[in-house]
Amino acid sequence: MPVSNEQCVDQFFHFVNTRNLGRLEELLSDTAEFYFPKTRPLLGKKHIIRFFKILFRQYPELKFQVLRKVVQGDISAIHWVNHGSNKKGDPYSNEGVTLLEMEENRIRWISDFFKNTDKF
């Protein structure tokens, strides 16, 4: 069932917070691209899901709180904060913006920008 772009944004962060990678994968187009600081571009939804699996292993506790979102046509900008801990139990928090571009009710492009890149 098609969802609005705003609903897709909400679902994206909900599925990340609940670690529901099966549902997250359904939101991504087959040719989705993810640009994350200090990594090569992740091309294709399988590579993006693998990235999230690794992220969740490194940060077994990590939750995002959306502070603001702007949805304009197929482009969304989401301002968030996150907090949690890494696998050693060290606390972690950050603040950033995720840009999403939609195509045919699927996310086709993701780019993250965040304040503290020291941990990555």
Please determine, for residue 48, whether its predicted confidence score (pLDDT) is greater than 70: yes
Q: Classify residue 73 by its DSSP letter.
A: T
What does the pLDDT read at residue 3?
74
Fold for 5-114, please state it. Nuclear Transport Factor 2; Chain: A, (3.10.450)
Reported pTM: 0.90
* Cα dihedral 62→12→25→101 (10° resolution): -130
What does the pLDDT read at residue 2?
58
Place of tokens 């939101």: 27
Quick one: which of 109, 96, 100 has its CA closest to 4? 100
What does the pLDDT read at residue 117?
63
Give the pLDDT mean for 63-90: 97
Domain ranges, ordered by start, for the chain: 5-114
Q: Classify residue 60 by its DSSP letter.
A: S
Give backbone dihedrals phi and psi of 25, rounded to 5 degrees, phi first: -60, -35
Place of tokens 């503290």: 116
Strand order from edge to edge, sheet including 42-43:
42-43, 28-35, 106-114, 91-103, 75-85, 61-72
Residue 118's pLDDT band (cuts 50, 70, 90): low
DSSP SS3 for 1 = coil
